Amino acid sequence: EIVLTQSPGTLSLSPGERATLSCRASQSVSSSYLAWYQQKPGQAPRLLIYGASSRATGIPDRFSGSGSGTDFTLTISRLEPEDFAVYYCQQYGSSAFGQGTKVEIK
Amino acid sequence: EVQLVESGGGLVQPGRSLRLSCAASGFTFDDYAMHWVRQAPGKGLEWVSGISWNSGSIGYADSVKGRFTISRDNAKNSLYLQMNSLRAEDTALYYCAKDGWGPICSSTSCYPYYFDYWGQGTLVTVSS
């Protein structure tokens, strides 16, 4: 069973800064089958990225995904106040979610 | 607009049963696989169960296998989760989620592709 490990656990940044979130898989992920979600307190998760790098409908272009194999990255180019949230990665074809990275205001 | 509205959660004693429902609208329901995902208080996301468009493929997390049953009624645009023999560790917010890929699951175990829409969740609390 694939295990997804996200790092760091918490990222403390200021608005306007760049955020780089990592998701590492215990085995190679086929065909870049990786998604990223954003979850704000009291809300359901929202799909940001699928296929490792494709933005979901309505997602601003400051969000980008990259990577392949076992190492994937979610980048937020310039943090907006509404971007402070918890982010999860998920691999297609398994039940695996990462444990989440919290992006908090510094 | 895609909408997924869960219902049926509540407080239940250990060992008892509960049935969750999810009413879907805004898309052609029988064109997509559907899933249940849960989130224990203060914890991360856990895939619970999935079902293909025609119920031909069904899968469960090991933590609920043999206790939970997923089903769907395409005529009613509805997804269900029958939960039996509930345990304290089943306490969570249960989300209904639409598979973004299409009608089939990603594997014979009906694991998901990705989730493009989520409901707001229904809270299940298992406690005496």
Please report the DSSP string for A37-63 in residue order: EEE-TTS--EEEEETTTEEPTT--TTE
d(CA A37, CA A9): 15
Contact criterion met (CB < 8 Å) for B113 and A95: no
* Distance of residue A49 Cα from the nearest chain B Cα, in angstroms: 10
Average pLDDT over residues A25-53: 94
Nearest to B115 among A43, A47, A98 (CB): A47
Nearest to A94 among B45, B111, B115 (CB): B111
* CA B33 to chain CA centroid, nearest Å: 11
DSSP H or E stretch at residue B7: strand B3-7
Residues of B in contact with A53 (CB under 8 A): none
Q: How confident is the model at residue B98 (pLDDT cuts 50, 70, 90)?
A: very high
Query: What's chain B's length in residues?
Result: 128
Q: B107 pLDDT exceeds 90? A: no
Average pLDDT over residues B91-118: 94
Average pLDDT over residues B103-125: 94
Contact criterion met (CB < 8 Å) for B113 and A93: yes
- Mutation for A interface: B2, B45, B47, B48, most A CBs within 10 A: B45
Phi-psi region of B102 (alpha: psi -120 to 50; beta: other; left: phi over 0): left
List strand residue ranges (DSSP E) for B34-121, in order. Answer: 34-39, 45-51, 58-60, 68-73, 78-83, 92-99, 115-118
pLDDT of residue B106: 85
Q: What confidence tens digit (pLDDT) does each residue in B34-59 have?
A: 999 999 999 999 999 999 999 999 99
pLDDT of residue A1: 83
At B66, list the tokens. Answer: 């043999």
pLDDT of residue A32: 84
* Residues in CB range of A31: below 8 A, 6 or more apart: none
Residues of B in contact with A88 (CB under 8 A): 44-45
pLDDT of residue A31: 74
Q: What confidence tens digit (pLDDT) does each residue in B22-36 have?
A: 999 999 999 999 999
Q: How confident is the model at residue B87 (pLDDT cuts 50, 70, 90)?
A: very high
pLDDT of residue A30: 80
Contact criterion met (CB < 8 Å) for A92 and B111: yes
Q: How confident is the model at residue A94 (pLDDT cuts 50, 70, 90)?
A: confident
At B2, list the tokens. Answer: 């895609």
